[in-house]
Chains A and B, each alone.
Chain A
């Protein structure tokens, strides 16, 4: 029996280890120590305890495996029947070696035996009783009580008894691996070669895990443990799995690895992600060595992989454990418990003890019922749901493009949200429609989860936080958002609890985050939320206002204000092209026209009809008011802040919906989101305080208040859940598009559709999407949207409709709806608006009358929609030879457009994303791009003649007036460079911001 003791700067634990060895009951114990270049007094201690001839001291650190390999070459090792590998920070119980040897000799074929390992400082705490891994090499420790000696996949070589035959059959440990999980490979090879690996609880060892904890001199901190573990796991798989197993395990491993890398990146754990990638890189670089070792390991294989898998942890082990504990909680272990608690009581106890799991379970059930019809539907179509492209590529292409390919075109930058949507599409198997479905159906749960986290950070209790999260996730606002298909708004709703927690921090006394890190982090959050839903800016302002109105010291108030301003600037910088467009557009991007000025509806955070509009929605403000009665002094500030935010939100929403706020401030959705969050936080805070008081006080008003609160919440949440489960969503399948829309048929070419409706309304019927602006025309005032024939596009996420083109369009609409003109078709023709569409009940009578009077807008018979066709509209890109068009386009001031005749256009053929090919022409013609003007367009003849600059056609569009082009021509956009530079700068800024706010690495 030879103990191979590997030492590296372990003086502080070595003495205990040697004492333990000296106290062993096993009669024949020899010790051979290998000192791996210790710089403390370890070597001296070893020599004095064991004698110089029992200490091998290489000049440098060979690592554990290298040290063992060197020890195995000694005569003592060759003569011993067993070698006990021992770490210097491990103390064996006096009977440990005897127990290990007994276990090895009692069972046939045992190659490795390990002890039960307890914590050095808390010996009552079990650290290991043998280990296993999942299919992908990740360690798993069963830690189940009540078992005696058991066969495991591997044991730690903090104390590992190895039979001599093992070395000769499988060779020494792989010195390339370590210091983490290198024991896995050794034991796995031993198992493969036919040896058994046991753990006997009769042998006890105390282990310091000094290297893992970073307490050993010369060892790195736990920062790199993920790299070592990943490296060893992959190398072990490559060496030890059979070829057939490797064919399916390896791809799955890589796939889950990619997912982990992605999740780590999203969580800003960049170093952790890098470690995974570095481990893969190491394996790739050392593949020849791994292959050689694989050959040897497979050569001595005697056990198939399926036998090995019996020792591996099954998939879903955590889920199974939760299920077992849930069953145990519901089904009593003893008959006495069964007699005391009814099934309702047991269910309530389960909910109280596991509120998060219970909430998720209920969420799954409610969601399955609520969404059952939507699961099968593809693609999803809804009033506020834009069309997602069929692949992820258009997201990225539009993001980096210098041209806007939606709306009235121009060079307005795309929102960074497109990049996130593109990445999300890649994760959903390259299917943006699937991403849309996942986001739409999943964001309510995310909203509830983020609210839970926010409230949990405030009250430190799970159940009130879960209730608050449920209130938020099932609020009328969220249900409305799902029904309408308002994905950007739902992203904003889901992110607002995080945003609120973030923005309130500088106002709190406990603010200890470095200011710069906070500013960048808050700016990052504002940038992400704002890129999806620019109205998040208004919500943040309301939240900060609520914080400012709360009584607090001036210095904290000033700090909060300054840091908020800095965060705004930081966020604006991260989306600077979008921010500039928002400013140039006069803040139109912040507007949302949803909601009606009905205080009762807004007070229950309801924005429309459909799911979420029942009066049960009043549960939220009622519960919040009830909770406010019982908040404690400790929670007073939080409660006041939440209450102020809620009240401010409701009032602002009313004034916005009623039209009393200027357009940049008119966003009922943003305000009601703040209100919903405020109510939910109040519920959580009040419930937490009340439950603490209830448990301490005798029966009285608090118990009554708690009961009342419980009733209100139960009725309200049940009502909201019932509305959701009815599934009467406005979003659905292609049948949501009015059948009459089939009448919108245009000749060849790309045209636009102008959707109109009364002001104070929300989304148009599919596929029109959300309104882009409003036109004031007295009783004939309308909201409008300009769309391609296919409808609203997700490429417009977060991007406002602004620019000269929209201003010109609104002027034209104003003339049509309130002016003396009767040639509205001519006024709309330069915009390539071929059809004007409205839902009859949604069009003001005055507007309908005006449209009917227009001589050049022809009514199209369609049941369910009011449709006018404008035969004067040319395609979006066309050559128009008509002289009156050429003259009208060149006119600088307004006027002249109403006299346009019906043109004879020839569509330009798109040749790439930013160029068109034009046909030969025989007369002087106008080449018209109904896109907002930019001076970087150029027209060039096919024969390479001079490039013609554009003119500002009709005051806003791109036009080229050219002589006859006998060989045709090309029109190209030469302004991509600006956008490319912007994108590189944005990439740098985002990378810097993410790095500045990265999370520290995790070990284990």
Chain B
């Protein structure tokens, strides 16, 4: 192959001193232009690659493992008490469950069982010690878990949803230590690492931070109960005792247990302050009291709206409830009887709230709320296996009507409930439905086909004077 010019401007013999300068200059000029074009093209294409094309987006993963997770139930107990964990599988596959019972500084027992699809399973756990707690791990699908404890008194039943994860800070609001109250803060460490945390107790007038609890070291795989009566008794002018648990190292889950002459109540710890909170309360006969705490640095101005079947009413009275930074307060509700509440911070300051409810027989329950309603819920029974009267509380805090379907799940599978299809909930209303099932405890799988809803559960165990209530479990997509 004859070798022609390989570069622009390189054709012909090598320039020599005899070649006219203008020809040489022209050749170099052509070469210069060509190189300049090349450089410009490369630079422009590079800029286009950087700004127009950009790096390739990472592909999403294709995970093969099934859902796994855990629920943590710091239910506590006392000698002679009984306790149960209720596990409901709303899915289509069998789920393996491992129960780990913790108590004061040790693992009490470990057991495993399977929950078939669309089944509800009760398992008895120890509730004989205030430090008793249970960790429920599930494998192969999602399940909802709740805890029920029953005292030796006929009116003593408490139910509470369990927590799905540890948080940096726990707020347990309803922990009064007035006359007749015996109150425990139950903290569990179901993890493999020792945990240390601070405990701070607040009343309307005082903040108590015991040196022995700053920090407190809780070994791995164990739990502990602090008798708050030994730390802070309510004095004159005090009607509210709240506890804050701040995690330093490791992870813990906290809850509260209150024993009164009229019964017992359990409270799951709250973790995140919010600007609003919908508390699905229902099935209670007596008064309701709202416990509020402002953990922020600015004053909070709070309004409480009572949401019942027939309408709404301002439950906080003509004036807003004002909370100074760090202040706790118990406010009697003047709302609709047996209604749910919606707590709103009017000036945007996030607060923590819980609602204390009194049943017909004087037994009490504490219910917390959620900041954001959702489309799917699992309401776990607040009954022991012996059954009673179950109430499903459906609260619509929004501005449009909700339409929901309810599927009941019992020990033997789904329970027919044709009345619970396409239930309409007007905006701002709360309805309470007595669940069928022949007095046996059932779980309710609530799906909103329109709008979003807040779900809670209430119960009268044995159809008697005992009263228990808890927030439902949100099912995330």
Contact = CB atoms under 8 A, between A and B. Distances in A.
Interface in B178-229: 191-193, 220
Interface string A765-805: 00000000001111111000000000000000000000000
B32 interface: yes
B431 to A, nearest CB: 33
Interface stretch (A396-404, A818-826, A920-928): A818-826
Interface stretch (A5-13, A212-220, A636-644): A636-644
A949 B256 CA distance: 55
Interface in B52-74: 53-56, 58-70
Contact of A658 (B11, B16, B38, B55): B55
A702 B64 CA distance: 67
B28 interface: yes
B309 interface: no
Given A631-B7, A634-B14, A776-B60, A659 B47 contact: no
Given A636-B6, A781-B58, A821 B14 contact: no
Contact of B56 (A625, A658, A895): A658
Contacts, number: 180
A777 B61 contact: yes
A777 B49 contact: no
Contacts of B193: 858-860, 869, 871
Contact of A633 (B14, B55, B69, B139): B14
A778 B68 contact: no
Contact of A599 (B50, B98, B250): B50
B42 interface: yes
A944 interface: no
Interface residues on A, range: 35 or more
B108 interface: no
B47 A861 contact: no
A759 B57 CA distance: 11
B46 interface: yes
Contacts of B21: 698, 700
Given A822-B70, A853-B165, A658 B58 contact: no
Given A599-B50, A658-B54, A902-B192, A628 B6 contact: no
A109 to B, nearest CB: 66
Contacts of A974: none
A559 to B, nearest CB: 14
A855 interface: yes
Contacts of B61: 775-778, 780-781, 814-815, 817-819
B64 A599 contact: no
Contact of A632 (B10, B62, B220): B10
B17 interface: yes
Interface in B1-15: 1, 3, 5-7, 10-15
A630 B28 contact: yes
Nearest to B5: A633
Interface in A880-938: 894-895, 898-899, 901-902
Interface residues on B, range: 35 or more
A960 interface: no
Given A634-B14, A700-B21, A776 B59 contact: yes
Contacts of A823: 68, 137, 139
A599 B62 CA distance: 32
B299 interface: no
B371 to A, nearest CB: 19
A302 interface: no
B403 interface: no
A825 B191 CA distance: 11
Contacts of B275: none
Given A819-B64, A820-B63, A553 B1 contact: yes
Contacts of A599: 46-47, 49-50
Contacts of A815: 61, 63-65
Contacts of B58: 659, 759, 776-779, 781
A872 interface: yes
B313 interface: no
B231 interface: no
Given A697-B17, A811-B64, A855 B50 contact: no
A821 B55 CA distance: 29
Interface in B270-323: none
Contacts of A777: 58, 60-61
Contacts of A639: 7
A872 B137 CA distance: 15
Task: Tell me whether chain B's interface is mostly helix, strand or loop, or mixed.
Answer: loop
B372 interface: no
A189 B35 CA distance: 71
Given A597-B54, A597-B55, A778-B59, A636 B10 contact: yes
Contacts of B43: 603
A599 B6 CA distance: 28
A777 B57 CA distance: 11
A596 to B, nearest CB: 8
Interface in A809-845: 811, 814-815, 817-823, 825, 827
Contacts of A150: none
Contacts of B98: 899, 901
A856 B68 CA distance: 11
A778 B59 CA distance: 5
Contact of B69 (A814, A822, A869): A822
A597 B50 CA distance: 7
A701 interface: yes
A871 B1 CA distance: 72
A859 to B, nearest CB: 8
A639 B9 CA distance: 14
B105 interface: no
A693 interface: yes
A827 B65 contact: yes
Interface in A616-649: 625, 628-634, 636-637, 639-640, 647
B70 A855 contact: yes
B69 A855 contact: yes
B347 interface: no
A729 interface: no
Given A659-B56, A776-B61, A856-B192, A625 B39 contact: yes
A837 to B, nearest CB: 16
A488 B195 CA distance: 44
Contact of B68 (A553, A630, A898): A898
A598 interface: yes
B55 A636 contact: no
Contacts of B50: 597-600
A915 B13 CA distance: 74
A814 B17 contact: no
B96 interface: yes
Which of B1, B24, B56, B68 has its CB near the most chain A CB atoms (within 10 A)?
B68
A679 interface: no
Contacts of A603: 42-43, 46
B139 A899 contact: yes
- Interface pairs A-B: 6 shortest CB-CB: A819-B63, A818-B61, A599-B46, A871-B192, A858-B193, A820-B67
Given A636-B10, A819-B61, 11 more contacts: A552-B1, A554-B1, A599-B46, A636-B5, A693-B15, A697-B24, A819-B63, A855-B69, A859-B193, A894-B64, A902-B192
Interface of A: 550-554, 597-600, 603, 625, 628-634, 636-637, 639-640, 647, 650, 654, 657-660, 693, 696-698, 700-702, 705, 759-760, 775-781, 811, 814-815, 817-823, 825, 827, 853, 855-856, 858-861, 869, 871-872, 894-895, 898-899, 901-902
21 contacts: A551-B3, A597-B49, A636-B6, A637-B6, A640-B6, A657-B55, A658-B55, A697-B24, A776-B59, A777-B60, A778-B61, A780-B61, A781-B59, A781-B61, A811-B64, A820-B65, A855-B137, A856-B191, A858-B193, A859-B250, A899-B137
Interface of B: 1, 3, 5-7, 10-17, 21, 24-25, 28, 31-32, 35, 38-39, 42-43, 46-47, 49-50, 53-56, 58-70, 96, 98, 110, 137, 139, 142, 165, 191-193, 220, 249-251
